[in-house]
């Protein structure tokens, strides 16, 4: 017999778990302490039971009833199969999925709270888009355009140059033209050319949809001066969208954004869920300040149809598991990691006769010169490949002089975010989740790579790599061949 | 000691499982027989090991390294955290995620093969969009527009009326105007007005982006005459996009589409993954015939940035689990269910003094008149609510005379896809996965609901429902209140 | 906003899911219909929340606090980490684990109900042992022995011969001696020699612990005549334990057992959970009739300490998922499969010049002669190996004349359960879960194997197998070698 | 197209993952660094593919084919459904399950290595029993008994008193008599009475199976002097079994055991998997020194039949996830936690007018006097209940004078492991996995509880608790009632 006193304590625990959900719904806050998996999983199961496909007596005779063939798939989505949103409003309640709808809303609330904690004061309308950053930026630009009375005539975006293809594609996909404003070199750093923006605003006139600034980027480009641009946009009645891709993880950037929307004009800020909140790729958060919420709201309601619940579900699970305590700890650790990486890389630079570029305006990424490449006559990108094949991912080698055409626009010095940046360098980032141990392993590999790079330049070695592939088992070669070949047939 | 003969048989099994992958990659076909979960899960794990975040020795110092905070999230995505696609091409290989990239490609290949098996002959370029149908349609319309030399001037879409908000939003979100062509009444059925389309093509002229037809819809609207429209578009050099939302499940519809792209012009066909392949909401398949593949290809390469791997992963798991044998069986069972539902509903109709609308052009949805509503003076929608509260989901009650404005366009008789359809009716669908047992439970509830509906109309009963809510526990009311209230705070 | 009507329907669903648990607890019955995974998983999560290791505020300072290192392990046990039972009573409540305790009890209740449904009328005390059948039998024999006043002197078990090592080991592990009573040949069948048992009871006298009969076994041995033995034991005040390893799946056997404990003496019946209820190996159910429950109860309370919750959890999940409807369907299908297998094998036998042994007393297993082996001078076991290497598992080839010593006892004609059975034969079983498709594949392989067997006997082929192993990749050979070698080091 | 260089790096990763398994099999060592879940899960899937139930072409026509009804169950056991062991040997290979067999062996190898790392030098035969500690001890005692020529006459065990019911039941379940040797009081501590053991060995003579000592226990009982007893047993040709329930986590205890089996006689050592390796309850490890391995081996081969793979699987997953690095870190942290707990509790004791018992011979558990209970005239156990209801689990309050009969033996002063221990006290343990934060929360609650305990003793409060239950929702009371009631029906 289960004794009444133990049973009563067990039932009290159920009750406390029920209260997690009630507290979340009524406070719209992250839990103070991260919850154990058992509590998080229970919460997800509880919500899924409220979706009609999980009603015990449901008979579905519509064209979409949330039926899922595979048990593996059902279990991986916690039986929430109806997605989120409804005909033309991604934040609208999904009638067949009350639980999924509530879950998506709680994910929005938690994301907003996490951003507030990270330093975004006076944050207004905030929600999770079931799209990665680039596509979300496209949606924001389309909503921004539609917000103007003369939407049809508005087809230009002024964009502070940042050499990532996605940013360019985000605009061209929306059918917009880009006017590129190049940053100016200040010491080692590339900073926003506010005057040039002002000139272009005047020049483009009534065709202008908005200015797009970026906060998080590869050094030596700095975070854009979003405060100055916001003031400029306020003054000139110009739209202003901030691409804050992975900036939530930096309190400095969050503060700048808050200041921008408090004393100037910001229509919408877009950030990735994966880089800022450590979830799989696939979502973005759109937010804005309390002073101006119409464009952010329009993005939500312009979305055609339903969407995958995955981005919201990943974020929901993560926010509950993380809690405010782990979130704050992660933010602290990242700042510590930045300082540690900077000082450790400076040591390597000194040893190798290189130097760290001085980029105080970029709180996440840093860059070291790679001047040895020129001296020894080796292609700088070889240095990057060598790091990659030694299992270091994420560095980026940039040499002057590359020209590339993206979305119809030709960029001189592509990669550097500037047409004539003088240095050859490589970058590394102290991003959320990186540890001191990671940095130690990185610098170890880096030292070895410098050595091999300098040596390799003196000896022809292509032969050795061919040999390597010849040595492989046939089965391995078959697999590689199969992988390389997949899409020929489709 | 493990004996060599058993070990050798065990290793042979590993080998056979490895061959699943090789076979998939080289044949680009569904497995002949659905695979057991153990084999499917192993395949997913094998692929994820090829993603850089799962390399045993990886050190990530980039801004995006696929780090995931929650073990629950990591496991639900099979550790594939990098998403799919890369800067501006959703079918491009993701350099940090060779496994995810291969997985996405195999999902494309399997989807294409499944559609071929379902009856789409001469199918050309096919891929999975990580977006639900509505948003995918938006992307297709934008790519369609961009395909014209004078893209800027092209801002009109001719659309065969279908009363779902998503369709309208898909166009307005893309910044396009809709020209609505209403179907004509033929017997009970609503069929495509090809002549009206021809007139509108001529009228709109150079501003036209394309004609949008739909194949799957609520009865009494029939599948559009996509063959006639395709011939017309070929003749007039007009774009043609088919919204085939849940039409893959019908061999009749697949055959019509094949014929359309074989003898006429079809630029792209869009279909939902959830309704056709029994996965959670969140993906769509874009395909086309072999004769004209440029627009479908342009959709893939215009996508800005990376995307969630969820839609591809769900489809990949499902296609491997399903195999050709279960897929064919499901298609067969659906056809059988259609016939069974039609005959069972006809019996109920006869008993209740109603009749089935005669809609031979719609192979999935069917409709029964609800003429009793008028006779007894009850609001027809009450019938739908009663079914819903009896756990029947998916029926849709339509009464003449409703007017609604969607995306700026006012529709008379909204819901009926026609401004003056004479009947009041409700619909039900024999969609993929519905069983004879479901249909039996449906008709049982239906008979009871007819009885209660006719009775209820004679007695005021609002009181009983209030009482019901009063009776609920306080805890239940708290939960409902919390749910209703969530988004007030965010 | 989540609307109140949808929220209220969602909450109603939660309520209905809560009622599953209440209904289970108060009815102690299988659900009438199998529950969907979402409901079953929720039930498990709900129970686990009642275990102290999942209390949100728990601080553990004992020596056992249910801490689990691996998230993979935690999730696979649904966070129920405390096991079941407590110091010396495996059915006692585990104070730190109210949820696990309730779960284990519900598993007991469901197992009992399932056995009642399968035909065990007047079933009494029933519970799940966290041990497979053999070890459970050992525990039962020890409790049986301890139930006698002169337990120390009692050290003999009379056992109706059944040639499986586990049965012998079950007794010897308990420190008991076996008196083997061989069955008698009746036609093709081996049936219980009740007279011999009676003689041995008299002979062994006060040293006797009990008689052990078996119901499920390989043909041509029949189900023991448990009714006659039960009457005999009643009359002679002798203990009687029935090894019903996989007999629950046969209604005929269940009826015999019911009759035995209704009109005679049965102290305990032991059955495997895996073979009868389609769960992984690891549990057994001990039951008895209502007339005599003391021994079964003593088994539960003699268990020293806690135990793994796995067997109970697997059974709990399975019983809820299965429900009465699927359980009955499985029992029906098995009976159908038996008839189908018998008739299909008879066809093969006729073709090959063999015959089916006539064994009406065995409702699960059947046997076909393999007289060709002698004729062609091939070792009969080669036929079994050939089937195994063709991926047919579970057949068993028996030839006269083998002698084997197990647990110190020497058996003539080991394998046949008789010292002088005249035929060479192989067996196959129509066990729970086997399908007509399985049987078709089996007979196809069987025909081919007969052909190859007859051919092979004429040609020396060892060479081909060596060649096969030489052909394998080196990596494969490494793996096999590693597997074979594992335990040398430990 | 997947590029060859990325594909080749992906395939290299597969290869490295394959090598995990090969390295495990050939080194029989824990991985140096804990493996990520993705690698561990892949390893489990890879092994399961080698089980016959997962062969793609398998047809099962035996009585046990590893069929599992529920997809939830299949996935939670990684599709390894055949269990481990075979007829009468739990470490024997399971013919139908080569993967499970290899997995079980690797678990054995890892457990042995972990124990070596923890300090067990010269460790010999080691394997995982699929049974919790108590039942494993029963099996060891039975094998120990059987190892004597005159096994039948041997039916006595000499046991150094340790007040846990399981220890007593372990012997009585095996049909053995216990001769209890009480420890002697030395300062605060209870230590082994080696002389009394020697006397009893002489007295019991030929009926003696073995001496059982215990290493891990509640303070103030110390770890038994296993070295002295081992020497005594060697000298007197007496069996010696060590119950090392949760002693692996203490290097001091491991060293003592090593010394014991190196310079004296130890037949087998039993330890729990859950408490030492942080897995769910359900397994035990049996080991011995290299000098004498026959009894430990006999335990493995006396096991009747197959067994659940759960204990091995949990351990396998955990050992791979943990690696040597985390294992060493956990051992270090536990030692640190012991010191921290001791010093923090000493502070509380000083504040409350109590003192810590001085127990240098117990490296895990510690005790604080509870002399205030007597002074204020409150029942000491109330203190324990108050801690439990404040979510502190694991403390144990012991007061002199309790008498209890277990397994037919009456113990004076039950709980204290001594018939006349003078103090009232409570214990707490610094067990593996406890953190400084746990200890801080514990001392906070403890201080509060002391305060309330002293207050409560002065005021009658039963009333308040009744009120509490009256306040609860009816639904809660229903649930409690249902839980309490479950087994009445079964």
Inter-chain CB proximity D98 and B474 less than 8 Å: no
- State the pLDDT at residue D2: 64
Question: pLDDT grade, residue A94 (50/70/90)?
Answer: confident
Q: Which residue of C has its CA nearest to A472?
A: C475
C-beta separation of D490 from C105 below 8 A: yes
Mean pLDDT of D427-432: 98
Torsion (CA) C357, C361, C366, C367 in degrees, nearest 10 = -30
Instruction: Kindly list the distances between the CA atom of residue C371 and the CA atoms of A170, B137, C390, C400, D112, in Å, as whole numbers in the listed order.
Output: 77, 69, 21, 12, 50
Q: Which residue of D has its CA nearest to B94?
A: D2
Alpha carbon A151 to chain centroid distance? 29
Identify residues of C whose CB sits under 8 angstroms from chain A CBs. Answer: 1-3, 6-7, 9-11, 13-14, 16-17, 20, 35-39, 41-42, 45-46, 48-52, 54-57, 71, 74-75, 79, 93, 95, 98-99, 101-102, 105, 473-475
Residue C459 has pLDDT above 70, yes or no: no
C-beta separation of C179 from C407 below 8 A: no
Chains with 3 or more CB pairs closer than 8 angstroms to B? A, C, D
Inter-chain CB proximity B13 and D74 less than 8 Å: no
CA distance A414 to A402: 5
- pLDDT tens profile C393-424: 999 999 998 899 988 899 999 999 999 999 99
- pLDDT tens profile D140-169: 999 999 999 999 999 999 999 999 988 899
Q: How many angstroms separate the first and last alpha carbons of chain D? A: 62
Mean pLDDT of the residues in chain C: 92
- pLDDT tens profile D344-388: 999 999 999 999 999 999 999 999 999 999 999 999 999 999 998
Find chain C residues with C-beta within 8 A of A17's C-beta.
49, 56
- CA nearest to A47, candidates A106, A132, A111, A108: A106
Residue B408 has pLDDT above 60, yes or no: yes
Inter-chain CB proximity A38 and C74 less than 8 Å: yes
Q: Best of C111, C253, C284, C305 to disrupt the D interface by mutation (most D CBs within 10 Å)?
A: C305
Residue C470 has pLDDT above 50, yes or no: no
Quote the percentage of chain C above a pLDDT of 90.
Answer: 82
Question: pLDDT grade, residue A487 (50/70/90)?
Answer: low
- pLDDT tens profile C136-162: 999 999 999 999 999 999 999 999 999
A49: helix, strand or coil: coil
Q: Which helix (H) or strand (E) holds A348?
A: helix A310-352
CA distance B250 to A39: 43
CB-based burial label for B405 (10 Å; 0-12, 13-18, 19+): exposed
Residue A463 has pLDDT above 50, yes or no: no
Find chain C residues with C-beta within 8 A of A71's C-beta.
37
Quote the percentage of chain D above a pLDDT of 70.
Answer: 94
- 8-state DSSP, C183: P
Residue C30 has pLDDT above 70, yes or no: yes
Residue in the structure block whose two tokens are 């033995």: C229
- pLDDT tens profile B217-245: 999 999 999 999 999 999 999 999 999 99
Query: How many residues in chain A?
Result: 490
Chains with 3 or more CB pairs closer than 8 angstroms to D? A, B, C
Torsion (CA) D433, D439, D442, D446 in degrees, nearest 10 = 140
- State the pLDDT at residue D407: 83
Residue D477 has pLDDT above 80, yes or no: no
- pLDDT tens profile B300-319: 988 888 999 999 999 999 99
Mean pLDDT of the residues in chain A: 92
Inter-chain CB proximity D102 and B11 less than 8 Å: no
- pLDDT tens profile D193-217: 999 999 999 999 999 999 999 999 9
CA distance A5 to A10: 9
- DSSP code string of B154-209: --EEEEE----HHHHHHHHHTT-EEEEE--EEETTEEE--HHHHHHHHHHHGGGEE
Residue A147 has pLDDT above 80, yes or no: yes
Question: pLDDT grade, residue C462 (50/70/90)?
Answer: very low
C-beta separation of C80 from D446 below 8 A: no
Q: Which of D6, D38, D49 sits opposite B54 (nearest CB)?
A: D38
Angle, vertex CA A205, rays to CA A199 and CA A208, nearest 5: 100
Mean pLDDT of A119-132: 96
- pLDDT tens profile C320-369: 999 999 999 999 999 999 999 999 999 999 999 999 999 999 999 999 99
Kindly report the nearest CA distance between residue D133 and chain C, in angstroms: 7
Helix axes B98-117, B37-48, angle to 10 degrees: 140
Q: Which of C164, C393, C441 sits opposite D52 (nearest CB)?
A: C393
Q: Which residues contact C280 (CB under 8 A, 6 or more apart)?
A: C274, C314, D66, D68, D73, D77, D80, D81, D82, D83, D308, D309
Q: Best of B12, B56, B68, B472 to disrupt the D interface by mutation (most D CBs within 10 Å)?
A: B56
CB atoms within 10 A of CB C325: 13
Mean pLDDT of A34-40: 96
CA distance C283 to D81: 12
Identify residues of D whose CB sits under 8 angstroms from chain B CBs. Answer: 1-3, 6-7, 9-11, 13-14, 16-17, 20, 35-39, 41-42, 45-46, 48-52, 54-57, 71, 74-75, 79, 93, 95, 98-99, 101-102, 105, 473-475
- pLDDT tens profile A387-426: 988 999 999 999 998 899 988 899 999 999 999 999 999 9
Inter-chain CB proximity D480 and A15 less than 8 Å: no
Question: pLDDT grade, residue B467 (50/70/90)?
Answer: very low
Q: Which of B38, B93, B475 sits opposite D48 (nearest CB)?
A: B38
- State the pLDDT at residue B475: 64
Kindly report the nearest CA distance between residue A5 and chain D, in angstroms: 9
Cβ pairs bridging A and B (under 8 Å): 445
Chains with 3 or more CB pairs closer than 8 angstroms to A? B, C, D
Mean pLDDT of A429-447: 97
Residue C464 has pLDDT above 60, yes or no: no
Inter-chain CB proximity B46 and D13 less than 8 Å: no
C154: helix, strand or coil: coil
- State the pLDDT at residue C401: 86
Q: Which residue of A has its CA nearest to D476?
A: A11
Instruction: Kindly list the distances between the CA atom of residue C344 and the CA atoms of C211, C340, D117, in Å, as whole numbers in the listed order.
Output: 37, 6, 59
Kindly report the nearest CA distance between residue B29 and chain D, in angstroms: 18
Residue A8 has pLDDT above 80, yes or no: yes
- State the pLDDT at residue C350: 98
Instruction: Kindly list the distances between the CA atom of residue A59 and the CA atoms of A50, B395, B443, B447, C133, in Å, as whole numbers in the listed order.
Output: 15, 10, 10, 14, 42
Residue A207 has pLDDT above 80, yes or no: yes
Mean pLDDT of C91-108: 91
Mean pLDDT of A432-457: 95
Question: pLDDT grade, residue A1 (50/70/90)?
Answer: low
Q: Which of B90-94, C211-215, D10-14, D438-442 has the lowest mean pLDDT?
A: B90-94
- pLDDT tens profile C274-287: 999 999 999 999 99
Quote the percentage of chain A above a pLDDT of 90.
Answer: 82
Please provide residue A428's backbone torsions phi and psi, each rounded to the nearest 5 degrees.
-145, 155
- CA nearest to B387, candidates B404, B405, B368: B368
CA distance A291 to A297: 13
Residue D425 has pLDDT above 50, yes or no: yes
Question: pLDDT grade, residue A466 (50/70/90)?
Answer: very low
C208-214 and B409-412 beta bridge pairing: unpaired
Inter-chain CB proximity C13 and A41 less than 8 Å: no
Q: Which of D83, D304, D486 sits opposite C282 (nearest CB)?
A: D83
Residue C322 bridge partners (DSSP): none
Q: Best of B1, B6, B43, B476 to disrupt the D interface by mutation (most D CBs within 10 Å)?
A: B6
CA distance A485 to C164: 53
Q: Which of A307, A486, A487 sits opposite B135 (nearest CB)?
A: A307
Kindly report the nearest CA distance between residue C424 and chain D, in angstroms: 18
Residue A180 tokens read as 């590129």
C-beta separation of A390 from A400 below 8 A: no
- pLDDT tens profile C216-271: 999 999 999 999 999 999 999 999 999 999 999 999 999 999 999 999 999 999 99
Alpha carbon C74 to chain centroid distance? 28
CA distance C34 to C450: 42
B240-243 and B208-214 beta bridge pairing: parallel
- State the pLDDT at residue D221: 98
Inter-chain CB proximity B87 and A165 less than 8 Å: yes
Cβ pairs bridging C and D (under 8 Å): 442
- State the pLDDT at residue D476: 65
Kindly report the nearest CA distance between residue C1 and chain A, in angstroms: 7
Residue B89 has pLDDT above 60, yes or no: yes
Q: Best of A33, A53, A55 to disrupt the C interface by mutation (most C CBs within 10 Å)?
A: A55
- State the pLDDT at residue D464: 46
Q: Which helix (H) or strand (E) holds C468?
A: helix C462-471
Q: Which of D42, D71, D98 sits opposite B6 (nearest CB)?
A: D98
Q: Which of A306-320, D171-185, D394-408 has the lowest mean pLDDT?
A: D394-408
Sign of CA dihedral D342, D347, D349, D355: positive
- CA nearest to B422, candidates B225, B220, B224, B222: B220
Instruction: Kindly list the distances between the CA atom of residue B388 and the CA atoms of A55, B395, B458, in Å, as whole numbers in the listed order.
Output: 12, 8, 21
Inter-chain CB proximity D484 and A11 less than 8 Å: no
- pLDDT tens profile C425-448: 999 999 999 999 999 999 999 999
Find chain A residues with C-beta within 8 A of D393's C-beta.
none
CA distance A175 to A182: 22
Inter-chain CB proximity B486 and C14 less than 8 Å: no
Mean pLDDT of C175-196: 97
- DSSP code string of D292-325: --HHHHHHHHH--S-B-SHHHHHHHHHHHHHHHH
Binning chain A into helix, strand and coil, the percentages to the nearest 5 are 50, 15, 35
Inter-chain CB proximity C60 and D438 less than 8 Å: yes
Find chain D residues with C-beta within 8 A of A2's C-beta.
483-484, 486-487
Kindly report the nearest CA distance between residue B400 and chain C, in angstroms: 25
**Is the pTM of the predicted complex or chain greater than 0.80?**
yes
Inter-chain CB proximity D42 and B46 less than 8 Å: yes
Mean pLDDT of B358-384: 96
- DSSP code string of B6-72: HHHHHHHHHHHHHHHHHHHHHH-S--SSPPPHHHHHHHHHHHHTTBGGG-TT-EE-SS-----S-HH
Quote the percentage of chain C above a pLDDT of 70.
Answer: 94
Q: Which of A328-332, B385-389, D212-216 has the lowest mean pLDDT?
A: B385-389
Residue C189 has pLDDT above 90, yes or no: yes
Return the higher-pLDDT residue of A413 and D490: A413
Kindly report the nearest CA distance between residue B477 and chain C, in angstroms: 8
- State the pLDDT at residue A459: 64
Mean pLDDT of D92-107: 91
Query: How many residues in chain B?
Result: 490
């Amino acid at each position: 017999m289960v004794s009444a006193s133990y049973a009563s304590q067990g039932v009290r625990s159920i009750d406390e778990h029920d209260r997690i959900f009630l507290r979340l719904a009524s406070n719209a806050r992250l839990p103070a302490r991260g919850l154990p998996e058992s509590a998080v999983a229970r919460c997800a199961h509880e919500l899924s039971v409220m979706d009609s496909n999980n009603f015990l007596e449901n008979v579905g005779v519509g064209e979409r009833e949330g039926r899922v063939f595979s048990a593996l798939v059902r279990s991986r989505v916690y039986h929430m199969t109806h997605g989120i949103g409804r005909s033309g409003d991604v934040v609208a309640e999904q009638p067949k999925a009350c639980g999924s709808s509530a879950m998506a809303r709680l994910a929005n609330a938690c994301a907003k709270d996490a951003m507030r904690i990270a330093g975004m004061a006076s944050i207004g309308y905030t929600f999770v888009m079931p799209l990665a950053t680039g596509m979300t930026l496209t949606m924001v630009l389309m909503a921004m355009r539609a917000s103007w009375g003369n939407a049809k005539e508005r087809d230009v975006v002024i964009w502070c140059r940042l050499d990532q293809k996605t940013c360019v594609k985000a605009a061209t996909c929306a059918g917009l033209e880009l006017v590129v404003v190049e940053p100016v070199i200040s010491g080692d750093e590339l900073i926003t050319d506010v005057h040039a923006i002002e000139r272009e605003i005047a020049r483009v006139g009534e065709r202008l949809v908005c200015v797009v600034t970026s906060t998080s980027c590869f050094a030596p480009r700095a975070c854009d001066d979003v405060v100055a641009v916001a003031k400029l946009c306020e003054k000139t009645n110009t739209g202003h969208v901030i691409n804050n891709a992975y900036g939530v993880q930096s309190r400095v950037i969050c503060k700048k954004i808050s200041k921008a929307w408090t004393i100037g004009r910001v229509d919408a800020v877009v950030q990735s869920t994966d880089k800022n909140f450590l979830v799989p790729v696939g979502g973005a958060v759109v937010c804005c300040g309390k002073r101006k919420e119409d464009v952010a709201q329009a993005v939500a309601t312009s979305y055609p149809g339903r969407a995958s619940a995955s981005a919201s579900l990943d974020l929901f699970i993560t926010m509950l598991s993380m809690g405010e305590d782990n979130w704050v700890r992660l933010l602290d650790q990242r700042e510590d990691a930045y300082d540690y990486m900077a000082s450790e890389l400076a040591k390597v630079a000194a040893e190798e006769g290189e130097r760290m570029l001085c980029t105080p305006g970029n709180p996440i990424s840093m860059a070291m010169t790679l001047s040895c490449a020129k001296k020894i006559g080796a292609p700088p990108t070889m240095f990057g490949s060598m790091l990659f094949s030694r299992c270091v991912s994420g560095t980026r080698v940039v040499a002057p002089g590359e020209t590339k055409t993206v979305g119809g626009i030709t960029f001189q010095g592509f990669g550097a975010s500037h047409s004539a940046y003088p240095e050859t360098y490589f970058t590394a980032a102290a991003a959320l989740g990186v540890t001191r141990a990671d940095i130690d392993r990185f610098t170890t590999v880096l030292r070895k790579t410098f050595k091999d790079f300098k040596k390799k330049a003196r000896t022809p070695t292509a032969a050795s790599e061919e040999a390597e592939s010849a040595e492989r088992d046939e089965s391995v070669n078959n697999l590689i061949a199969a992988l390389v070949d997949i899409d020929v047939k489709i």
